[in-house]
């Protein structure tokens, strides 16, 4: 079922790497293992995988360097795996161009769920026209050319900032966006005061777009890190 998806697994810890590739194998994913950053960069450029699972703590070069190298030529989705629970590592990885993260220890179910959601995002991105005028995600519809937002048939009135936020999240659907990335894009700078404002605007935006189905938000909060719009199945 997943045979079309090739996953590059970058992890220097052999038992963890084996657990990951065994799990992928039993779920019909193809994979390429790599144990160092240099191997990862080589494999990414020669095999052009669909998804990269990348441990941040590697023996030769850091995972952050690997992300920067890959991002110099490719937008392939990168899911970072970090043993460190510090948010700063994840934030640095996300700002360097990673799409998502898993914190060690993680369950294989959690890993498979992240891979599936990345596949949904990939499918969407491959079929979406760059200049697509209308974005649809579940009951949410954004008409970019008319600057209109609908939930179901209901036209939703957003403030200019709320609209900018929603458009930014939708243009990066499936991707975790850091506070810094969002505030830079919406306000042009990233001061603490803007991060505080961001929380307020996000709360009001959610209230408006989730009014019909409270508790069923399409915008996830990543505490201490940022937000993500989830692609509906």
Positions that interact with Ca ion (CB under 5 A): 12, 55, 57
CB of 9 to Ca ion, least distance (A): 12
Question: How many Å separate Cα 78 from the centre of its chain?
Answer: 8
**Smaller CB separation from Ca ion, 10 or 94:** 10
CB of 57 to Ca ion, least distance (A): 4
CB of 81 to Ca ion, least distance (A): 8
* Length of the chain (residues): 233
- The pair of structure tokens assigned to 162 is 């709320």
Q: Which residue has its beta carbon closest to Ca ion?
A: 57
CB of 43 to Ca ion, least distance (A): 17
**Smaller CB separation from Ca ion, 56 or 167:** 56
CB of 13 to Ca ion, least distance (A): 5
**Smaller CB separation from Ca ion, 81 or 115:** 81
Distance of alpha carbon 59 from alpha carbon 165, whole angstroms: 38
**Smaller CB separation from Ca ion, 57 or 138:** 57
**Smaller CB separation from Ca ion, 55 or 194:** 55
């Amino acid at each position: 079922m997943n045979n079309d998806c090739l996953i590059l697994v970058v992890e220097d810890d052999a038992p963890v790497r084996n657990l990951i590739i065994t799990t992928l194998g039993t779920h019909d994913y193809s994979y390429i293992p790599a144990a160092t950053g240099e191997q990862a960069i080589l494999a990414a450029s020669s095999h052009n995988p669909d998804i990269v699972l990348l441990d941040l703590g590697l023996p030769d070069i850091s995972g952050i360097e690997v992300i920067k190298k890959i991002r110099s030529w490719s937008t392939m989705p990168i899911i970072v795996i970090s043993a460190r629970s510090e948010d700063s590592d994840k934030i640095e990885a996300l700002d360097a161009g990673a799409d998502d993260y898993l914190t060690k220890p993680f369950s294989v179910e959690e890993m498979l769920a992240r891979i599936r959601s990345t596949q949904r995002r990939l499918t969407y991105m491959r079929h979406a026209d760059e200049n697509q005028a209308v974005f649809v995600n579940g009951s949410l519809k954004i008409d970019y050319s008319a600057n209109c937002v609908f939930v179901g048939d209901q036209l939703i009135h957003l403030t200019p900032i709320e609209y900018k936020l929603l458009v930014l999240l939708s243009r990066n659907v499936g991707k975790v966006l850091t506070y810094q990335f969002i505030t830079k894009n919406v306000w042009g700078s990233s001061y603490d005061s803007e991060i505080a404002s961001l929380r307020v605007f996000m709360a009001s935006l959610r209230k408006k777009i989730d009014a019909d189905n409270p508790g069923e938000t399409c915008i996830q909060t990543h505490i201490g890190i940022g937000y993500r719009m989830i692609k509906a199945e």
